[in-house]
Chain A
Amino acid sequence: GAGVSQSPSNKVTEKGKDVELRCDPISGHTALYWYRQSLGQGLEFLIYFQGNSAPDKSGLPSDRFSAERTGGSVSTLTIQRTQQEDSAVYLCASSSRDSSYEQYFGPGTRLTVT
């Protein structure tokens, strides 16, 4: 079946602009995660959605970052007033209880802030 998909695959933006990154999880997966992969910080957790529960936002690096998940499926990660240090690959993953919460990753969105 279809895996996790993310769009766009690449995004170049100017410092100070807002960006939106999209994630389509595997159908039926109740949990959705955003991670960031950058040269200096490795792979970092950003935010976690589980069903209808309030999201765990404890990994978001600043209040410029926000995410939402509509209808328990698609998620959007928004970065406001982008900075050069936001340049990274943003990864989305999804999981379900049926798969023992094994996380399946999307291909990522490479964000470059100029």
Chain B
Amino acid sequence: GNSVTQMEGPVTLSEEAFLTINCTYTATGYPSLFWYVQYPGEGLQLLLKATKADDKGSNKGFEATYRKETTSFHLEKGSVQVSDSAVYFCALLMDTGRRALTFGSGTRLQVQP
């Protein structure tokens, strides 16, 4: 079946540090890939997405590139802020069959001032 693997958290960084959260996937076919973010006390929000190989999704300074050869979609940000503290979920969606997201386990990011 399809699956998503994320790095374990929590990840603790100082403000302005570089962020990488690793995400790899297993899928039969060619999924679309997503990063969702859940801020404390809030619902899931789409952060960015990529629908085919070599696409780069970007939003709010975050980026992720769809790498088919390594089946990865790592999330990066050059300079994190305290307000980026949240739980980040990597997810995939197939374009056939069940159109429900398959999520990774989530990675909690804590940014300290």
* A101–B98 CB distance below 8 A: no
| Given A48-B99, A56-B98, A105 contacting B106 (CB threshold 8 A) | no
Quote the shortest CB–CB distance from A102 to chain B (angstroms). Answer: 6
Indicate if A59 sits at the interface (CB-CB under 8 A): yes
Question: Binary interface profile of A, 49-73, with partner B (CB < 8 Å = 1, else 0)?
Answer: 0100000101100000000000000
A91 and B99 form a contact (CB under 8 A): no
Residue with the greatest number of chain B CB neighbours at <10 A, chosen from A31, A33, A43, A95: A43
Q: Is the interface of A mostly helix, strand, loop or mixed?
A: strand
User: For the complex, what is the distance from the CA of A46 to the CA of B104, rounded to whole Å?
Assistant: 16
Q: Determine whether the beta carbon of A106 is less than 8 Å from that of B43.
A: yes
Output the least CB separation between A96 and chain B (Å): 11
On chain A, the number of residues with a Cβ less than 8 Å from chain B's Cβ atoms is 23
* Chain A residues closer than 8 Å to B89, beta-carbon distance: 43
Query: What class of interface size applies to chain B in its complex with A?
Result: 10 to 19
Question: Bound state CA distance, A98 and B82, in angstroms?
Answer: 35
Set of chain B residues within 8 Å of A50, measured between Cβ atoms: 99
Q: Are B106 and A42 in contact (CB under 8 A)?
A: yes
* Contacts A42-B105, A43-B89, A102-B49; A48 near B42 (Cβ below 8 A): no
Q: Does A83 lie at the interface of the complex (its beta carbon under 8 Å from any beta carbon of B)?
A: no
Q: Which residues of A contact B102 (CB under 8 A)?
A: 45
- Chain B residues proximal to chain A, CB less than 8 Å: 36, 42-46, 49, 51, 89, 93, 98-106
Q: Can you offer 28 A-B residue contacts whose CB atoms are under 8 A?
A: A31-B99, A33-B100, A33-B101, A35-B100, A42-B103, A42-B104, A42-B105, A42-B106, A43-B89, A43-B106, A48-B98, A48-B100, A50-B99, A56-B98, A56-B100, A58-B98, A59-B100, A93-B44, A95-B99, A102-B49, A103-B46, A103-B93, A104-B46, A105-B43, A105-B45, A106-B43, A107-B43, A108-B43
4 A-B pairs with the lowest CB-CB distances in the bound complex, closest first: A43-B103, A105-B44, A45-B100, A107-B43
Sample of 11 more A-B contacts, CB < 8 Å, known A35-B101, A45-B102, A103-B93? A33-B100, A42-B103, A42-B104, A43-B103, A48-B99, A59-B100, A93-B101, A95-B99, A102-B49, A104-B46, A105-B45
